[in-house]
Structure 1
Amino acid sequence: MDIIAAVINNLKGKTKDELRNIIDDAVASKDESTIPGLGVVFSATWKHMSEVEKNQVMDYVDRGLKAT
């Protein structure tokens, strides 16, 4: 099984709260091994966003990178 399928398979069926906790934990840990999984989550989400939503996310990304 490839990493994309594995990540999606592991996250399917999780509640919003569970997903939030997984993402929060991955970001807080600063463990680089979580980066591919976060990328899969971002990619899967991005594919289902409208252009308006993508523009909003890009505002958040831009703001986050400038603050880092």
Structure 2
Amino acid sequence: MSILLDLRQAVIHKVHGKDKDGLREMIEGSIDAQEAALPGLGVIFEILWKNIDHTKQDELLTILDQQLAQIEMKPLK
């Protein structure tokens, strides 16, 4: 459990104090990057999710549902 807390704290420390442009750069730089960046995006998503109301959560879920439906799934090897 402490590993997760350390990861959360490391990500928060990395983005703390960044302006909108800095946050956008970090997010866009992590998307489609090496899988090592995915936990950081997870922490950012967790912060976002915890701090938006249910209406906005539902909007995100609708977008996610629509986008996932468009992805062609390939069998796992």
TM-score, reference length from structure 2: 0.79
The alignment status of 1:11 with 2:20, answered yes or no, reads no
Letter in 2 for 1:15: D
Confirm or deny that 1:41 pairs with 2:41.
no
Aligned length: 67
Unaligned runs of 5+ in 2: 72-77
Counterpart of 2:62 in structure 1 is 59
Distance 2:42 2:66 in 1: 18
Partner residue in 2 for 1:26:
30
Identity among equivalent positions (%) equals 33
Give every structure 1 segment of 4 or more consecutive aligned residues whose post-TM-superposition deviation is greater than 4 Å: none
TM-score by length of 1: 0.88
The higher radius of gyration belongs to 2
TM-fit CA distance, 1:9: 1.1
